[in-house]
Structure 1
Amino acid sequence: MHRHRNTATVLSVLSMGLGQLYNRQFLKGILLLLVEAAGLLYFLPRLGEAIWGVVTLGDKPLHMEKIGGKMVPVADHSIQLLINGLIVLLIFAIFIWIYISNVRDAYRTGKHRDEGGAPASFKDTMHFTLDKRFPQLLLTLPGISILFLTIMPIIMAILLAFTNYSAPNHIPPAKLVDWVGFQTFNDLLSLKTWSHTFYGVFTWTVIWAIIATVTTYFGGLLVALLIDQKDIKFKGLWRTLFIVPYAIPQLISLLIMRNLFNGQFGPINQYLGYFGLGGLPWLTDPFWAKVTVILVNMWVGIPVSMVLILGVLTAIPKDLYEAADVDGATPFQKLRIITLPFVLFATAPVLIMQFAGNINNFNVIFLLTNGDPVKGDYQYAGATDLLVTWLYKLTLTQSKFNMASAIGIIIFLVVASLSIWSYRRSKSYKEEDMIQ
């Protein structure tokens, strides 16, 4: 009873296309045989070397060898071996997926034959693919691009955290890179020279993310409520004025702000001096530098929240406010019972996104303070550095790639965990009624 499906499945396991040939799908079978032949030609000389490169990261440090009568430097480049190995293994994973799909296709066709049906012709298969599977077919190329341009670099960054890839002792090709397991994480969290910096920067990152999110969100809410009042005239003008800081590229506005807050030559301290107030060390004192980045972030971030909340306010049914007026509700009661629940329901996902974005808010910190002022007891970090800017310094200026990768993994775990947890607890996720 199951003769066709069993035979087709066994043959397709032995070789791609054999099951299709058995099912009398000759053109499809020939194409799959060609795919397997191409795969064998590609993988036979490469797969073993790729696995060896990923597992060992090379075994020949830089040395001189005599090649063609000349002494030339020869070495295994650990990072190139890792990258090349990952590429080959990802292509092999795609090949395995095609192989499994080939087996499933042969089984389904054989089952159809056992039930008395005729195998689909190549023309029928193409028609079905272009009709029913067209979205998947169209997404194939972007999917492959994401696999190699997004997923592979992420895998690469994760793997580097488990190596000793860092200056000055393990930078190829002069030196080999080795797998060290969780040693990098252990050093980051327990070794005093690193752990003191990590916990200090991590604490400031959390404080910064909370303050930056709260100030920009509720600042935008306040501005939106003021503009939305009936007695306010020229509302379009006010909206335009408040959106200007966001419309200007951050690179320009933040560099201008950096000059404005300059302790010696900045206009802000000069204006304070005119009133006899004296200047403040806006960017050179650790406390005032943190205050400065929070204030500047409010300038940049409040317009975004304002525009978002203005859109929500226009969607709130006016009859709710009319009913509240009839019941004698005060403006504060209407704000608490009607406005805030609607606004928070609609903007909760965006609020969570803003919090996650502020944890990784590279632009404000890097362009305004560059993470400074310097702290002598910190390892390559300043008083205003976030984890993401510290990661940047470790990578681009100190070549501590393994430590930077470990920090990147921790950032991802923190952001993903907090975002998922807070979003699942929000009413937007639960789809509850906004008015309880």
Structure 2
Amino acid sequence: MMTDPQKQDPRKAKLLSIIPGLGQFYNHQVLKGSIFLVLFLAFVAELALAGVRQIVNLITLGSTPMMDNSLFMMIEGTLQILVLVVAIILYAANIYDAGNIAKQANEGKKPSTSLVQMIKNIGDGGFPYLFSIPAYFLMLFIIVFPVLVTLFIAFSNYDFLHVPPAHLLDWVGFKNFTSLFFLSSYRQTFNAVFGWTIIWTVVATTLQLFLGIFTAIVANQDFIKFKRAFGVIFLLPWAVPAFISIMSFSNIFNDSAGAINVQVIPFFNKILPFLHLSLPAWKTDPFWTKIAIIMIQGWLGFPYIYVMVTGILQAIPEDLYEAATLDGASAIQKFNHITAPTIFTVAAPIFITQYTGNFNNFSMIYLFNSGGPGDVGGGAGGTDILISWIYKLTTGQSPQYSIAAAVTLLISVIVIGVSMIVFKKTGAFDLGDD
């Protein structure tokens, strides 16, 4: 039986594409094949001129102090890895495209062979890809690149004793991670800081969520008058820049000259003498500092939740409440079965981001009291959370960049892991089967 000479062989097209562009030439797509071939030759040239050397330097991190800068070698090698990843993706796309076009030709679809046809095909079917591919490339080099550099630093000995180019860096494997968990000087600090970070995140965020939901529900009741005025008042903490508010509160909570200890507490002691309120050491006692920053964060964070929940409440049909009233439901039952489920179904992703945001809330911790008072070791103060401890590890007199990078990776794993688990459990981003 004779074979149709016009038939294209997808397998042959893919085999020819081992050298990028040849498969497209086989499919009579000279322009596309030329593009793939030029990109392939450019990558080979880049690899020969600099790429191989940069990958080798990434592995060795240099051999001669003052001449070799280990940090630059690490950065350049990381960039080269990303270039290699992009090249592999394009190489795979080249093979897939050659086989797919050959298959389409056998089905009677004429492949584009000119620039005009290629542009028309992109406009018809590839328009979304045309706009999304640049975004992916930007993400690769703006997000993935710094993360990879941080990852590599975490596995090196980059500290105040090894600062390039005067000293070379070495790969130390998991030493920095094991030091955090097993070396006494770091283990105690990490446990103290991590424990307080969890407490701070849970308590402060839950407080601002509670205040936001509570004020929104109360302000949304029909018997409340001057709702617009209350709305303006509740938005005031959100209207003022957070760093200004935090620094103002830092002065207000000053132990000896702040308004809380000088005016507010003495006022209550005067009108209610049986209370005998003492003057807390807001800035010099870690316990009271923690209480202060939790209260301040609740005040700063609730307006956003108030606005969002108000919008959700206004979208709930009144028919649901009227039907519940006819069925004899109490106010608490209405809240439990109508209001609360609606709020948490709609706002669950935002609530989760509030927790993850406070987990890394550097401004609140550092601007109020620089992570103090007290010292829990390793350069960390009594109210430092992980992110502010990282800052001190990298800016102190004896910077520990590799340890800071290791802590950064642990933070990322914790935040991403917890967020994904909660998102999965709540179905917050479940967009259905479509």
Common fold by TM > 0.5? yes
1:12 has 2:46 as partner: no
Q: CA deviation at 1:111?
A: 3.2
Q: How many residues align?
A: 417
The answer to whether the Cα contact below 8 Å between 1:281 and 1:288 also exists between their aligned partners in 2 is yes
Q: Determine whether 1:294 maps to 2:298.
A: no
Shift of the 322–38 alpha-carbon distance from structure 1 to 2, 3 Å rule, reads: same
Aligned to 1:329: 329
Give every structure 1 segment of 4 or more consecutive aligned residues whose post-TM-superposition deviation is greater than 6 Å. Answer: none
**Residue 27 in structure 1 maps to residue 19 in structure 2:** no
Partner of 2:216: 224
For structure 2, the residue ranges without an aligned partner over 5 or more in a row are 271-276
Aligned-residue offset at 1:175: 0.8
CA 1:243/1:47 → structure 2, altered by over 3 Å: closer, same or farther? same
Question: Is residue 2:136 matched to residue 1:136?
Answer: no
Q: What's the offset of the Cα at 1:24?
A: 2.1
Q: What is the distance in 2 between the residues matched to 1:114 and 1:133?
A: 21
Change over 3 Å in CA distance of 1:327–1:54 after alignment to 2: same
| 1:154 correspondence with 2:159 | no
Q: CA deviation at 1:327?
A: 3.2
2:188 corresponding residue in structure 1:
196
Distance 1:114 1:233 in 2: 74
Output the CA distance in 1 between the equivalents of 2:11 and 2:345. Answer: 55
Distance 1:176 1:247 in 2: 49
Give the match's secondary structure for 1:76: coil
Structure 2 partner of 1:37:
41
Question: Counterpart of 1:71?
Answer: none
Q: 1:212 touches 1:298 (CA, 8 Å); kept in 2? A: yes
Distance 1:427 1:94 in 2: 33
The whole-number CA distance in structure 1 between the counterparts of 2:347 and 2:32 is 51
Q: 2:262 aligns with which of 264, 270, 276?
A: 270
Distance 1:96 1:430 in 2: 32
Q: CA RMSD for the aligned pairs?
A: 2.1
| Secondary structure at the counterpart of residue 9 of structure 2 | helix
Kindly state the Cα deviation for residue 299 of structure 1 after the two structures are TM-superposed.
Answer: 0.9
How far is 1:298 from its partner? 1.0
Contact 2:238 2:303 in 1 (8 A): yes
Deviation at 1:429, TM superposition (A): 5.5
Q: CA deviation at 1:146?
A: 1.6
Question: Is 1:282 matched up with 2:321?
Answer: no
> Cα deviations across residues 216-248 of structure 1 (Å, max 9, x unaligned)?
111112111221122211101101101110111
Letter in 2 for 1:207: I
Separation in structure 2 between the aligned mates of residue 48 and residue 427 of structure 1, nearest angstrom: 46
Cα distance in structure 2, aligned partners of 1:289 and 1:337: 39
Letter in 2 for 1:422: V
Q: TM-score, normalised by structure 2?
A: 0.90
Tell me if 1:388 matches 2:381.
Answer: no
Q: Tell me if the contact between 1:213 and 1:358 (Cα under 8 Å) persists in the aligned partners.
A: yes
Structure 1 unaligned blocks of 5 or more = 63-74
Residues 285-434 of structure 1 mapped to structure 2, 5 A cutoff? 285-375=285-375, 377-397=376-396, 398-426=398-426, 428=428
List aligned pairs for 1:254-269, cutoff 5 A. Answer: 254-269=246-261
CA distance in 1, matches of 2:238, 2:425: 30
Matched, 1:240 2:232: yes
Shift of 1:83: 0.6
